[in-house]
Chains A and B, each alone.
Chain A
Amino acid sequence: MVKSTEKNLSNFLQIKKYKMETITIKETISKLLESILDHNNFEMHDELTAKDVDGWDSLSHMMILTKIEEAFNIKFKLRDLNKLKNMGSLVSVIQSKI
């Protein structure tokens, strides 16, 4: 009984930590996008893609990726780039690296 509660608590904390990270990561990305693209006309959700965001094109994409790498102190592999289909996958690739 006790063990199980501990496990539940630990799971709960794990999930909470994960959720907080996700939110912090998204907030950081959102601020970066705003500073690079000069606007905040986008809503952060997992299905958000570059197409939905004004000015996020192949030219700014490179710059956005570089800024994200700097902000999280990570380095994307070339192979990671094709996995970045939307905000949700971007966040999980970042999570796998921090």
Chain B
Amino acid sequence: MNLLANLQHSINNSLKNNAFCINTVLYSYEEFAQIISNIRISIKKFSDEEETNIGLITNDDIYTYASIIALWLEGKAYIPLNPEFPIDRNLTVINQANIQSILDSSDTIVFSKFNSISTINLENSEINLTPAQVSNDTLAYIFFTSGTTGTPKGVPITFGNLSGFIESQWALDYTITEEDRCLQMFELTFDLSVVSYLAPLLKGACIYTIPKDEIKYSYIYELMEDHELTYSLMVPSILHYLRPYFEEINCPSMKFSLFCGEALPLDVTEEWSKCVPNATIANVYGPTECTIYCMDYTYSRNGTNKAHNGILTIGKDMINTSTIIVDDDNNEVEIGEEGELCLSGAQLTHGYWQNEEKNKEVFFYKNHNGVETRFYRTGDLCCVDKDGDVLYLGRVDFQAKIQGFRVELSEIEFHAKSALNKLNTIALAFVNSISNTEIGLVIESKAIDTKQLLGNLNEKLPKYMIPTQIKFIESFPLNTNGKIDRKKLIKLFTD
């Protein structure tokens, strides 16, 4: 598959179609092509030819999406930088990825100390969508996710990985056509955004985004009803927010309703199926390391659905991924036995960005069906049934998902401890009254004022990683193994 050539053809064949609806404004593919071409000229003019990793300020506008495509057509990778993230965190990413140039559509440039290239108010050039030569090993993007030691870790994804993903996405038969109106609800720092804009662009469909100052779940509902969306990928936490209003929702136009990023409860899915009476509902699964998602399960409206503890199965691997479930010594476990889910295949990243230590920890080689194969340990505890469907059981480590974002709890503890002059802290994920996950922080101390602490955390961490509740305890309870009893601490927030 030649991804960029396909993209070029799709845009050229859809010039009269709407490409985006951003904050109620429609943009045609022709306008999109024009802006892409203009930005390409600026990239060539103002960045070094050798530069491969380019920063991108993630605004919700046509210029930001056009910048991604422009960078790709120039054979360069984008590294999303959310202007609302703390400056410290963005600088860490910029340094780690060795970024010199940053594309920025803001009225006032965000990073004036770097080679910021403005993507707005550019002169119109000739439309040029001809892609540069790229190989399967050329980087398409690097996304940084929460790291255990206080520094985010980069996941580089190549055009080979991305082509592998798109090929297996098409094989799912959740077909998108140029008639479709597709939801893009994700921050561009979250890799589920990639499929949400790329799949529609490859088919000439229209993409509907969420303005940053809107409440996501209610805005999604209005888009679904008022613009008769036909295709959506959402995180399950949106369903938890919408659940009290399910009776008001009726979207017969929806053809495909996909979920990813968090555990999907079966009961909520059943209730949701009545809101989207004509839609095929699917649960897809995958970490950023294996390019967006790599496993899929189609929800059955009339039959029975497999679930464990009320959580819908994540189904089977997609065509370019092979999965195994292993014990601590990387031996495959028997059917029905629990173990860690491991992934391999064309979508799997070559490894974390300049992080050999972490790579040794989570990637390993194993003989699989007679071939020496590289696998990635997901940290997800799973088991497989006799039909080959995989059930998600929980995490093997201290990672949590907050609205789909991966959060290493130890990263929060790291920053909390340094702000508190070494007081002991434990960060916990707990499920709140509407079944969404929140972060609580327990401090081993008498009650103290936490304003300074929250101020410090806000300077270091994105909003979704900031604890929403803080409790104090004079000494942490221990379990029978002498370890801090996190289950007891969680009760501080849930009882």
Contacts and interface: CB of A to CB of B under 8 A. Distances in A.
Instruction: Decide if A and B are genuine partners.
Output: yes
Interface of A: 51, 57-62, 77-79, 81-82, 84
A23 to B, nearest CB: 26
A6 B468 CA distance: 54
A58 B438 CA distance: 11
Contact of A78 (B216, B248, B438, B463): B248
Interface string B267-308: 000000000000000000000000000000000000000000
Contact of B216 (A58, A60, A77): A58
B436 A78 contact: no
Interface in B380-397: none
Contact of B222 (A51, A61, A79): A79
Contacts of B214: 82
Contacts of A60: 468
Interface of B: 213-216, 218-219, 221-222, 241-242, 245, 248-249, 403, 432, 434, 436, 438, 463, 468
A63 to B, nearest CB: 8
Q: Which 8 A-B pairs have the closest CB atoms?
A: A81-B218, A78-B245, A78-B248, A82-B218, A78-B221, A59-B468, A78-B218, A82-B222
Given A57-B463, A59-B468, 6 more contacts: A62-B434, A77-B245, A77-B248, A78-B218, A78-B249, A84-B215
A62 B463 contact: no
A65 to B, nearest CB: 10
B215 A59 contact: no
A61 B436 CA distance: 13
B441 to A, nearest CB: 14
Contacts of A61: 215
Interface centre among B219, B245, B403 (most CB of A within 10 A): B245
A28 to B, nearest CB: 21
A83 to B, nearest CB: 9
Nearest to A80: B218
Contacts of A77: 245, 248
Nearest to B436: A59
B13 to A, nearest CB: 35
Contacts of B468: 59-60
**Chain A interface secondary structure, helix, strand, loop or mixed?**
helix
B248 A62 contact: no
A89 B222 CA distance: 18
A78 B215 contact: no
A51 B212 CA distance: 12
Contacts of A82: 214-215, 218-219, 222
Contact of A51 (B213, B216, B434): B213
Contacts of B249: 78
7 contacts: A51-B213, A58-B215, A58-B403, A59-B438, A77-B248, A79-B221, A81-B218
Nearest to B402: A59
Nearest to A83: B218
Nearest to A61: B215
A21 to B, nearest CB: 25
A68 B245 CA distance: 16
Contacts of B219: 82
B208 to A, nearest CB: 14
B260 to A, nearest CB: 19
Nearest to A82: B218
A84 B215 CA distance: 9
A78 B248 CA distance: 7
A16 B214 CA distance: 34
A60 B468 CA distance: 8
Contacts of A81: 215, 218
A81 B463 CA distance: 22
A61 B222 CA distance: 18
Contacts of A58: 215-216, 403
Contacts of A78: 218, 221, 242, 245, 248-249
A69 B125 CA distance: 54
B278 to A, nearest CB: 20
A57 to B, nearest CB: 6
B388 to A, nearest CB: 37
A79 B463 CA distance: 26
A51 B463 CA distance: 12
A62 B242 CA distance: 10
A77 B434 CA distance: 17
A35 to B, nearest CB: 14
Nearest to B246: A78
